[in-house]
């Protein structure tokens, strides 16, 4: 059931926003899965994993908004 919901939400996201933004957001599932496993399944996260999650999310933000580093014009 969750798989079907995921596919429907993915298709809706692609149809409502630019494809590059939708794909970049879909790539965040790895980070969300690790964080949800920590809170709901009691999995432990090492400092290295937390650091990788933070830098990975920063990379996704940079992909979705490449002008972020340029500053306001």
In angstroms, the CA 32 to CA 35 distance is 5
pLDDT (average), residues 9-29: 79
Domain that holds residue 9: 2-65
Is there a domain that residue 13 lies in?
yes
- Higher pLDDT, residue 72 or 39: 39
> Is the pLDDT assigned to residue 73 strictly greater than 60?
no
- What's the structural domain count of the chain? 1
**Cα angle: 56, vertex 29, 3; to 5 degrees:** 170
SS3 state at 17 = coil
> Is the pLDDT assigned to residue 71 strictly greater than 70?
no
- Higher pLDDT, residue 69 or 47: 47
Is there a domain that residue 70 lies in?
no
Is there a domain that residue 53 lies in?
yes
Q: pLDDT for 34-47, tens place per residue?
A: 888 889 998 888 99
For 7, the token pair is: 């596919």
- Higher pLDDT, residue 66 or 39: 39
Q: Percentage of the chain with pLDDT > 70?
A: 93
Q: Which residue has the tokens 């939708």?
A: 22
* Spatial CA neighbour of 20 closest among 66, 57, 67, 64: 64
In angstroms, the CA 51 to CA 57 distance is 10
């Amino acid at each position: 059931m969750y798989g079907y919901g995921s596919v429907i939400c993915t298709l809706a996201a692609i149809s409502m926003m630019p494809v590059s933004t939708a794909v970049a957001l879909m790539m965040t599932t790895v980070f969300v899965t690790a964080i949800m496993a920590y809170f709901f399944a009691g999995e432990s996260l090492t400092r290295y994993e937390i650091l990788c999650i933070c830098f990975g999310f920063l990379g996704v933000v940079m992909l979705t908004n490449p002008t972020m580093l340029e500053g306001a014009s």
